[in-house]
Structure 1
Amino acid sequence: MTISDLKYLRLHNQLISQQPYANAGNVVAALGAMQAQDYAAAKWAIGLRLPEATDEDIEAAIAQKTIVRTWALRGTLHFLAAADIHWILSLIAPRLNTLYASHFKRLELDSAVLSKSFSTIEKALRNGKQLTRTELAAILNKKGIATNDLRMNFILLRASLDKLICFGERNGKQFTHTLLDKWAPATKAIKKEEALAMLAERYLSSHAPSSLKDFVWWSGFPLTEAKAAFAMVDDKFEEKTIGGNAYWLPKKLPDFKKKQSLYLLPAFDEYLMGYADRTTVVDEKYLSHIATNNGIFNPTIVVNGHVEGNWKRTLKKDKVLVEPHIFEAISKSNQSALKAVSKRFGKFLNISAEIS
């Protein structure tokens, strides 16, 4: 297998070059978890992996509780399938709570304060209520629980990791929080080893070819546990050398096609976010155009699995302007393909699209 094959196989496994599913829940479940701190970008990340999906379809999947947005891997916001959220949070929360312990101590958020905060939040969200961050902060402040100096951030983070709350539907443009058990009822508990193996299998099925280091980055688990996880799924996956580096991939490769392709990927898409080493698909000299020093990932233009530029959108009253920035010249056929995918993005937003 060559590096070129690797890129096409990743496009296939990440459901970009093939779209076998008909709903958002299956897409998110297949990828394990999808980065979602940029809400609009995260919706397009799901939408481009579904045939003819619209922004309204993704909003409907959230309202129907098929997919859930919460803090998950690496302590960042993700979409998770409703059926997966409990076992994934149970798996990752202990480590994240330990990693954030110094922040909780600095902010004087001890067990007593957190317990009072959680009790207050639980009462406020009973009977299916969905409240914004501002509304919850006001309720906590009234109970004598300060929410300044990042305290509210960490109260909500810990409440999410401890499976008390998740995001609900939006109230206008404001995000709301609701009780997780009412939004996505608890599922049967899974032992840590089994859950870690499930996460590794989900990751390799959707991100391979990928390295052990990639999984360490994506999952947030230390190398020793990542190795143990891969060892538990070595009946389905194996390590091979591609381009001088070691990657894990399925023992039985899917029938992926190497066809000419161009995609508009959103910011923070798993095609970039899912790996520690991104130089496999991005020339090193252009990495700064893709990711900033403070961890912001830009939307990308991917040609045949390789990042050839980035882009931005500007929403107007009746259309969206797609402004591409190509690193180097692309062929006329790819210029035509760029127009086609821009049109598809416009359809997702239910407005016309123009390249500016």
Structure 2
Amino acid sequence: MTPTPAQLRTLRLAAQGIAVPGTSPTGAVERMTAVQGQDLGQVLWAIGVRTPGATRDDVCAAFDRGELVRSWPMRGTLHAVRPDDLRLLLSLTAERTLRSIARRATELGIDQPLLDRARDTTVAALSGGRALVRDELFDEYRAAGIDPTAGRGYHLLLQLSQEGLVAWGPTARVGQGLVLLDEWAPALTEVPDRDEALRRVLLGYLRGRGPATEADAASWTKLPLGDLRRARAAAGDTVEDLGGGLLALADRPTTGGTPTGHLLPGFDEYLLGYADRSAQLDPEHADRVVPGANGMFLPMAVVRGRVVGTWKRTERASGAAVTVTPFAELDDTSVRALEAAAARYARFLDAPVAFGVVEATSR
């Protein structure tokens, strides 16, 4: 029987591992295959919310140990990912990503000789296990006669990342250091052939997001729908058809036993992991989460699987303040559930967090 919207939300929360105890930061990311992470602070909490009891320092330590990196495994968007899963994804997506950014590379004056010079400069600067933050590496580019301004340096890094050459590794005072991927985190497994890689990626996608459709998976990976259908066929009875086009792992996790309120970061996979987000977010409120459809997803307040508002963090002399702006008036039970979520966020920050809810406002 096809899940109802309420059942779908419950199943997806369980698959996403939100507030589900018993895993590590690395284990949480492995479960998800990749976690969208163009904003470092947001992705640290995206991992933390899936690792109850872990602190921000615990999540940073997984990057510092080389268990996790950030790179562009698909859609030209930064994600947190295990190094071997990054290699797996790039084996499927890199060629398509490079084609999609070729025109912009030409506009920036990036030709093969310039890319070769950037590659040589990057290897020379980072060899021997060195890690440089972006501006330090761009200084090396300038010394080699490469102008990194106007987005050129960032675009060169994006291209080199598709070769599996560089990734963002250990945390720094501000941001992360860039490293040579194979030096920083040598491969532990071989990249399989394409059909097996497709099967693994689909299973990984469903493990962290199911139930979902083939169209959802295609949107997330930006792979052709035909590839996802091949992956579905290869997966056999490890994947179950729930009706309505919804697929889930046959051995999906049980539901229940977790909190009902959550404060999710901006760009969280609970929303961005799907092409059709209507089960989690009423389309009527979509522009409250993405104001002006500008691509910037605000942090979300979630109760019983529904996005019920947004929230923001304000720094204070001691700790922080979390303020929820609901789409409509919240009942006392929902407020208490979100207050409990703020307490979990305080444990993650290892700092006091004051919690408040402002009056719901109309559009």
Asked if the contact 2:68/2:169 (under 8 Å) is kept, the reply is no
Corresponding residue for residue 226 of structure 2: 224
TM-aligned CA deviation for residue 259 of structure 1: 6.9
TM-aligned CA deviation for residue 16 of structure 1: 1.1
Corresponding residue for residue 104 of structure 1: 105
Alpha-carbon distance between aligned partners in 2 of 1:162 and 1:250, rounded to the nearest angstrom: 31
Unaligned runs of 5+ in 1: none
Change (3 A) 1:231 1:146: same
Asked if the contact 2:168/2:178 (under 8 Å) is kept, the reply is yes
TM-aligned CA deviation for residue 17 of structure 1: 4.7
TM-score, with length taken from structure 1: 0.94
Asked if the contact 2:55/2:349 (under 8 Å) is kept, the reply is yes
Q: Which residue identity is paired with 1:228?
A: R
Q: Structure 1, residues 160-187: CA drift from partner, whole Å, max 9, x if none?
A: 1111111122331143211111111134
TM-aligned CA deviation for residue 342 of structure 1: 0.8
TM-score, with length taken from structure 2: 0.93
Alpha-carbon distance between aligned partners in 1 of 2:30 and 2:83, rounded to the nearest angstrom: 9
4+ residue stretches of structure 1 with deviation over 3 A?
251-254
TM-aligned CA deviation for residue 84 of structure 1: 1.8
Q: Is the partner of 1:249 in helix, strand or coil?
A: strand
Corresponding residue for residue 361 of structure 2: none
Corresponding residue for residue 265 of structure 1: 264
Task: Figure out how many residues of one structure are paired with residues of the other and give that number.
Answer: 352
Corresponding residue for residue 7 of structure 2: 5
Corresponding residue for residue 154 of structure 2: 153
TM-aligned CA deviation for residue 231 of structure 1: 2.0
Q: Which residue identity is paired with 2:228?
A: A
1:233 to 219, 235, 254: 235
* Aligned 1:26-41 pairs, distance under 5 A: 26-41=27-42
Alpha-carbon distance between aligned partners in 1 of 2:182 and 2:20, rounded to the nearest angstrom: 34
Corresponding residue for residue 314 of structure 1: 314
Change (3 A) 1:342 1:120: same
Corresponding residue for residue 93 of structure 1: 94
Corresponding residue for residue 211 of structure 2: 209
Unaligned runs of 5+ in 2: 357-363
Change (3 A) 1:14 1:129: same
Q: Which residue identity is paired with 2:85?
A: D
Corresponding residue for residue 348 of structure 1: 348
Asked if the contact 1:262/1:302 (under 8 Å) is kept, the reply is yes
Q: Is the partner of 1:129 in helix, strand or coil?
A: coil
Corresponding residue for residue 118 of structure 2: 117
Alpha-carbon distance between aligned partners in 1 of 2:224 and 2:212, rounded to the nearest angstrom: 16
Q: Structure 1, residues 193-227: CA drift from partner, whole Å, max 9, x if none?
A: 11111000100121111111111111111222122
Alpha-carbon distance between aligned partners in 2 of 1:343 and 1:139, rounded to the nearest angstrom: 44
Asked if the contact 1:5/1:258 (under 8 Å) is kept, the reply is no
TM-aligned CA deviation for residue 260 of structure 1: 6.5
TM-aligned CA deviation for residue 253 of structure 1: 4.8
Q: Which residue identity is paired with 1:220?
A: K
Corresponding residue for residue 303 of structure 1: 303
Alpha-carbon distance between aligned partners in 2 of 1:258 and 1:185, rounded to the nearest angstrom: 38
Corresponding residue for residue 359 of structure 2: none
Alpha-carbon distance between aligned partners in 1 of 2:258 and 2:128, rounded to the nearest angstrom: 52
Asked if the contact 2:65/2:170 (under 8 Å) is kept, the reply is no
Is the counterpart of residue 191 in structure 1 residue 190 in structure 2? no
TM-aligned CA deviation for residue 89 of structure 1: 2.0
Corresponding residue for residue 62 of structure 1: 63
